[in-house]
Amino acid sequence: MTMSDPIADMLTRIRNANSAKHDTVDVSSSKMKLAIAKILLDEGYIKAYELVDNGNFKDIHITLKYGVDKNDKIITGIKRISKPGLRVYASKDELPKVLGGLGVAIISTNQGVITDKEARKLNVGGEVLAFVW
């Protein structure tokens, strides 16, 4: 069965695994999901990710990150902003700040999938994919 919003599915799997205190989570692979996983790794929200070949298809194996205790969650919240039914775009002047700059907005631009901070440096706008805090 085809999925109408695979990015929302990825974020929901990460959110559910995080709240259930799992160490790892597997999501189906795409270039966009790999770019989002790379941003989550670079910003320190996950420990690692790797591409796993399962015969006919590939998965992204994401290792979640916790604090000293598993009750100390690094990802407090993760939310999909732009959806297939309602796309949300932001120009270079109106890029969102998540929790006053403490969180990260993931933006899809013509320069690739980048964070809101990088988009401000590059002076570009784009589609606001998700917020992570």
Q: What is the pLDDT of residue 123?
A: 96
Task: Look at the domain 6-132 and name its fold.
Answer: Dna Ligase; domain 1 (3.30.1490)
10-residue mean pLDDT profile of the chain (133 residues): values are 86 96 95 97 96 92 93 94 96 93 95 96 97 96
Domain boundaries, the chain: 6-132
Q: What is the CA radius of gyration of the chain?
A: 15
Q: What is the pLDDT of residue 14?
A: 97
Q: What is the pLDDT of residue 1?
A: 53
Separation between Cα atoms, residue 133 and residue 130, nearest integer Å: 10
Q: Tell me the pTM.
A: 0.93
